[in-house]
Amino acid sequence: MNPTIDYHALAPEIVLTVTVAVCLLVDLVARRSELVPRLASLGVLGAIVPVITLSVDGANRTMFGGTYEVDNYALVFKGLFLIVAYLTILVSFHYIGEGDYYRGEFYVLLLTSVLGMTVMASARDLVTIFVALETITIPTFALAAWRKHDTKSNEAGLKYFLIGVISTAVMLYGMSVVYGVSGANKLVGIREYLVDTNEPALFAVGVFLTLVGFAFKVSAVPFHFWAPDTYEGAPTPVTAFLSVASKAGGFVALITIVNIAFFPSKGSWQPVIFVLAAASMTLGNLAALRQTNIVRMLAYSSVAQGGFMLVPLAVAADVSSNSAWEGVVVYLLIYAGMNLGAFAAVIAVARRTGSAEISSYAGLGRTDPALAVMMTIFLFSLAGIPFLAGWFAKLVMFRAAFDSGTTGAVILGVVAAINAVIAFFYYAGVGRQMWFREPDPAVERTAVPTPLTLNAAMLIVTVGVLALGVYPQAIARLGELAFTPG
């Protein structure tokens, strides 16, 4: 029996795979290392084309016995991952080109990781989710340790690797129990089992371990301790990629598996997500408050943002409509853009001052107003100031929490509200350094111009953040589409 293969549905993955292979070959043959990032970005843009044609077509395409599905939900995330990949390449272009780095391999590994993400968006069984998750993470272990001679980068890679494999092992153990109890590998099969039978306590153990594994991947408290170290030690474009794309990959897996498979067994997953959400928001924000290094601050802020994203997920079982699920997706899409922008600005500043200390941002508003304006927009958007995109993300999160109306959800909403206020302080702290402090004469500045690619990436994100802040219906529509059967 031969499986029927729908090449149109698989086109984004095929284009990416071919690009990876071509990049590897070109890097081997051609001396001009600039060619590889150009080819890589072309490949990513090429992979967006079938995503668009597929979404215009609109039909659900199911393959391989229901284990691989290309529906609206998958397409929304594929689009997000490819756009983030393109922006990451823009941000990396000069950073990787100028340092003591292997240039060609960097983009090969980056695109391999993106390939894993596009597969993840379509994965509908435990095996495919596992394989996609590993395709996302294994290349990023090497990327985090990319500065071979820098022991900090080595440490970042090692910590990320160890946490990565341990969390995978825990997740797999959980998945094996889930499989054993339900007897099903496909997520739909697990759901059918849960609807038909009263699941034993062992199933809850499996769900718990699976969720713990994912919590490591999305760096939710108390499984977040690796994130600040890895983010600080890794090359900054890699950090941007990890905190946005690979985190989103973990979230997509989490949403898929909870929404499709575990959903009927509310008691086994809801308390876990609830605790993760509350702990991530609170501890992430409190730790971010006392950071002096901006990368570490953004690392803890991304832990806290992960907590905000988990809030709609924690209440999803109590909301009758899809609005909670849409909330997670909308928050994820907006977070990806604004966080990537913030890291791009960090790279641009570090090119001038060679420092990632927050004190080196003093007087940036005077020395480089354009950069300071963009950085302010990203940070205020992360803080959720009205009429920037991040505001709408917070709004849908709160709406989900208060719509459901259960006591737990309201408590979670209140915790989130307090945290949104705390978060404002450290985001605004950087803003104060930029606009109300004199430039520190001790910090050496070089007048290197910001490269075009980096500026382009920041401009694209700025326009996106401003446009979605004024016209959030566009992103809300995407969230709606994701959960509308085609």
Partner 1 sequence: MDLNAFLILAAVLFCIGIYGVLARRNGVLVLMSVELMLNAVNINLIAFSAYVQDVSGQVFALFVITIAAAEVGVGLAIVMLIYRNLRSPDLDKIDQLKG
**Locus of tokens 């889930």:** 178
Cβ nearer to partner 1, comparing 132 with 319 = 132
Cβ nearer to partner 1, comparing 158 with 188 = 158
The CB-side HSE value for 305 (13 A sphere, CA atoms) comes to: 31
The CB-side HSE value for 163 (13 A sphere, CA atoms) comes to: 27
Q: Kindly report the length of the chain.
A: 486
Cβ nearer to partner 1, comparing 183 with 441 = 183
Cβ nearer to partner 1, comparing 50 with 206 = 206
Quote the CA–CA distance of 413 and 416 in Å, as a whole number. Answer: 5
Quote the CA–CA distance of 154 and 140 in Å, as a whole number. Answer: 13
User: In whole angstroms, how close is the CB of 398 to partner 1 at the nearest point?
Assistant: 31
Q: What's 51-66 look like in SS3?
A: HHHHHHHCCCEEEHHH
User: In whole angstroms, how close is the CB of 55 to partner 1 at the nearest point?
Assistant: 30
Cβ nearer to partner 1, comparing 94 with 296 = 296
Q: Which residues bind partner 1 (CB under 8 A)?
A: 125-127, 130-131, 134, 138, 141-142, 145, 148-149, 151-152, 154-159, 161-162, 164-166, 168-170, 172-173, 175-177, 179-180, 183-185, 228-229, 232-233, 291, 293, 296
Residues facing residue 69 across a β-bridge: 62
User: In whole angstroms, how close is the CB of 180 to partner 1 at the nearest point?
Assistant: 3
Cβ nearer to partner 1, comparing 186 with 394 = 186
User: In whole angstroms, how close is the CB of 399 to partner 1 at the nearest point?
Assistant: 35
Cβ nearer to partner 1, comparing 186 with 352 = 186
Cβ nearer to partner 1, comparing 290 with 477 = 290
User: In whole angstroms, how close is the CB of 102 to partner 1 at the nearest point?
Assistant: 13
Asked if 407 contacts 378 with a C-beta cutoff of 8 angstroms, the reply is no
User: In whole angstroms, how close is the CB of 440 to partner 1 at the nearest point?
Assistant: 21
User: In whole angstroms, how close is the CB of 411 to partner 1 at the nearest point?
Assistant: 30
User: In whole angstroms, how close is the CB of 158 to partner 1 at the nearest point?
Assistant: 5
Nearest to 88 by CA among 117, 51, 120: 117
Cβ nearer to partner 1, comparing 30 with 169 = 169
User: In whole angstroms, how close is the CB of 175 to partner 1 at the nearest point?
Assistant: 8
